[in-house]
Chains A and B, each alone.
Chain A
Amino acid sequence: MKVVVCIKQVPDTKGGVKFNPDGTLDRGAMLAIMNPDDKAGLEAALRLKDQYGAHVTVLTMGLPKAADVLREALAMGADDAVLVTDRVLGGADTWATSTTLAGALRNMEYDLIITGRQAIDGDTAQVGPQIAEHLGIPVISYAQEIKLDGNKVTVKRQYDDRYHMVEAKLPCLITALSELNDPRYMTPGGIFDACQAEITTWGRADLKDVEDGNLGLNGSPTKIAKASDKVRKGAGEKFVPESPEEAVGIIIGKLKEKHVI
């Protein structure tokens, strides 16, 4: 069984988001990490490796330094790594990114493709489903649990207030939630091997069945006017009721005031 996991190097937003004066992300001022949802997807693939001996390849598109997340994935236990990097691919939105990754995946063998649900820098959740569309395979998004049974997968798909059990035949694509699992750590020996490992590097010329008009900044229909950090919520109102009855009265009053009830 062959599993390809698409991963992305993203700025670590834990220490806050930094912006350039022009409103774009100051990636240099932030640590780069493996996108958390993608890491959960990688862990799911590595568990398939542990259980069924699956061969796990990690794939990313990005600057040459994106090789760092590939090495991290290798140090966690992935078998192979592919980096797609080329100046003409820069500035890609989700459409151009998914086109690029699909172009790379057409060169690869896979039974299952796993991507993270969404990246913490863009939060679109579009690339995974778009890749499946380009490749003409089924997609199951928001996976909370993955079970493999012969030639099919059963996935617990999460919603806000419920879940669906969805079954699909292989090959298919699954998008993973970070709640799917606790990703393993790298091992020291894995790190030493990963730093010596050969990373397959592909450019535009290696992408199969893609048109230039769908790649990079020029092939991106999305134009970003401005990026901003999350808007902070106001301090709110504080009440100190003297009895539970009074507390209920205040809450009901506020809910009515806001037309919630």
Chain B
Amino acid sequence: MDFSLSKEHEMARQLFKDFAETEVKPLAQEIDQEHRFPRETVEKLAKYGFLGIPVPKELGGQGCDVLTYAMCVEEMSKVCGTTGVIVSAHTSLCVDPIMTFGTDEQKQKYVVPLAKGEKLGAFGLTEPGAGTDAQGQQTKAVLDGDEWVLNGSKCFITNGKEADVYVIFAVTGKVEKRGKMMKEISAFIVEKGTPGFTFGTKENKMGICGSATYELIFTDCRIPKDNLLGKQGKGFNIAMHTLDGGRIGIAAQALGLAAGALETTIQYVNERKQFGRAIGAFQNTQFQLADMATKVEAARLLVYKAARAKDQYQKDGKSAYGVEAAMAKLYAAEVAMEVTTKCVQLHGGYGYIKEYDVERMMRDAKITEIYEGTSEVQRMVISAALLK
């Protein structure tokens, strides 16, 4: 077993770190306070290929691996959770399913411009009545001649309104499974600007405030028959497969938030003086830093292991990575919440003030325990694998 990073990965990490410090960090506080989507950052991410990292060069991507992509999300999230999730939702939730389940035509038409960053991607599964229970879908798609007609709505969609391409799930019929009638779910590719596809409320969130979270509304929205993604009725599998990968991205985001808060706090405790000495000189501070650093490192190992497992799947098409991804997300998200909360505490009153980055990081961290499968869902995935 070798835990050291290759030369490629070391160089890529340095690149992401430099980019994050120079291009992303200066905007982090502003976009959070103004609830503004950082379009200018997305253009820079596109320019340097950060929106197509694990995509083959033939499809307009960088030809790198999942580990490199996870490190990108980690480094962006160290300074700005919003930027981390923009990259993650685009890459894991939109590019990946089209790359994995799309036809050659769909890959050329959608993956190429998405990987080049000419277009931004999003994913719509969640509905007001279908969160963890994805079977509760109400959005319907009916085939009418050469077109699918979509009706319904999706909520809490990351990159909503800002994205150009959406992977959308809808009910296309009913099937009998183990004696029970179940909804047949299928996946579709829907482009922004399609008549009948509009955007509802922009959510006013606790954290990741620069990220655009919208309701998507489909009213007799007609899309070409060819925009069915994968086989009809395989939507649930596509969604679950996609979320397995997405969890690695969110785990990397959580890891970045925890690591970023810790770095900021280490600097702070060296500068902040109480009782005549830096608060870092007190053993209480030192022990807390030691515990946090250990947990962050453990989270990093789980995230990288999950990324490596998905890399293996990309090579052989059969290796499993769902449990690794669930463990990585469960642990990294909980570490992110714990570490950012403790970092606020170590900052004292200043940690509660918006001028200090840890205040934002703590609010950003909470969502990592909720989206792309709550921590409870991750425990279900992990225990199901243990007890099967």
Contact with B along A136-164 (1 / 0, CB 8 A): 00000000000000000000000000000
Q: Which of B6-14, B322-330, B376-384 contacts A (4 or more CB under 8 A)?
A: B6-14
A188 touches B7 (CB 8 A): no
Q: How far is the CA of A188 from the CA of B48 in the complex (A)?
A: 8
Q: Is B371 an interface residue (CB 8 A)?
A: no
A188 touches B64 (CB 8 A): yes
State whether A195 and B8 are in contact (beta carbons under 8 Å apart), knowing that A185-B18, A187-B62, A189-B64 are contacts in the complex.
yes
B48 touches A191 (CB 8 A): no
Pick the residue among A72, A187, A195 that contacts B49 (CB under 8 A): A187
Contact with B along A173-202 (1 / 0, CB 8 A): 000000000001111111110110000000
Q: Is A75 an interface residue (CB 8 A)?
A: yes
Q: Is B72 an interface residue (CB 8 A)?
A: yes
Q: How far is the CA of A163 from the CA of B373 in the complex (A)?
A: 61
Chain A residue nearest to B49 in the complex (CB) = A187
Q: How far is the CA of A187 from the CA of B49 in the complex (A)?
A: 6
Q: Is A8 an interface residue (CB 8 A)?
A: no
Q: Is A71 an interface residue (CB 8 A)?
A: yes
Q: How far is the CA of A194 from the CA of B64 in the complex (A)?
A: 12
Q: For this complex, into which size category does the number of interface residues on chain B fall?
A: 10 to 19
A75 touches B11 (CB 8 A): yes
Q: Is B235 an interface residue (CB 8 A)?
A: no
Residues on A with beta carbons closer than 8 Å to the beta carbon of B19: 185
Pairs across A and B, CB under 8 Å, 6 listed = A71-B7, A187-B62, A191-B15, A192-B64, A194-B11, A195-B7
Residues on A with beta carbons closer than 8 Å to the beta carbon of B64: 188-189, 191-192
Total A-B Cβ pairs within 8 A: 49
A192 touches B63 (CB 8 A): yes
Told that A185-B18, A191-B12, A192-B8 touch, could you supply 10 new A-B pairs with CB distance under 8 A? A71-B7, A72-B11, A186-B11, A187-B48, A187-B62, A188-B48, A188-B50, A188-B64, A188-B72, A194-B11
Q: How far is the CA of A19 from the CA of B6 in the complex (A)?
A: 30
State whether A185 and B48 are in contact (beta carbons under 8 Å apart), knowing that A192-B62, A192-B63, A192-B64 are contacts in the complex.
yes
Closest CB in chain A relative to B111 CB, distance in Å: 15
Residues on B with beta carbons closer than 8 Å to the beta carbon of A71: 7, 11
Contact with B along A41-76 (1 / 0, CB 8 A): 000000000000000000000000000000110010
Closest CB in chain B relative to A112 CB, distance in Å: 26
Q: Is B53 an interface residue (CB 8 A)?
A: yes
Contact with A along B42-78 (1 / 0, CB 8 A): 0000001110010001000111100010001000000
Residues on A with beta carbons closer than 8 Å to the beta carbon of B61: 189
Residues on B with beta carbons closer than 8 Å to the beta carbon of A190: 49
Q: Lowest 4 CB-CB distances: which A-B pairs, in order?
A: A189-B62, A187-B49, A188-B62, A195-B8
Closest CB in chain B relative to A71 CB, distance in Å: 7
Chain B residue nearest to A187 in the complex (CB) = B49
Max chain B Cβ within 10 angstroms of own Cβ: one of A71, A75, A187, A192: A192
Closest CB in chain B relative to A156 CB, distance in Å: 26
